[in-house]
A and B are shown apart, each in its own frame.
Chain A
């Protein structure tokens, strides 16, 4: 199975901050990676797919980059609705696997 490692596991940030989350795979994924945001007690929401494609309706302050084994999600200016847990997910091979999550909390 492909192991997905996210860092940091948590980050404290303020509204307006730039936030960067990384995801590393133990095998090459090409660009088969997605990012999701899960707010408390809600279902996950797709933000980025194919490593850098912005899902329809997602604000442009979210961006994704990387290929192969190292990927990054950047929030250019954190907004109140952006607090929650972020997950990366690989879609290169079965079983599909998620990273352990990065919790973005209010500083």
Chain B
């Protein structure tokens, strides 16, 4: 069974204080690892997809990296508007279809104080 564990559960940062969010996973045949951002009461907003170990992607103050067992979301010099819940999900490859389900972690709630 695919599993995703995110840590820490919550993170409070001062504006400008860089940090990293962790996502550990076990999956039979990784097709993709996804990071989403979710604001309270809203649907998840897609950030990144990583497909193979060693891959990195960047968007503004965010950088996602992937190894064979975990992914990190690095936040550089965060601003209060970066406050949200960050969700990690894995998708397994398989014969059931090209659009396999996403298995999510519980998310990390990030608060950035001005």
The answer to whether A and B interact is: no
What is the interface of chain B, defined by CB distance below 8 A to chain A? none
What is the interface of chain A, defined by CB distance below 8 A to chain B? none
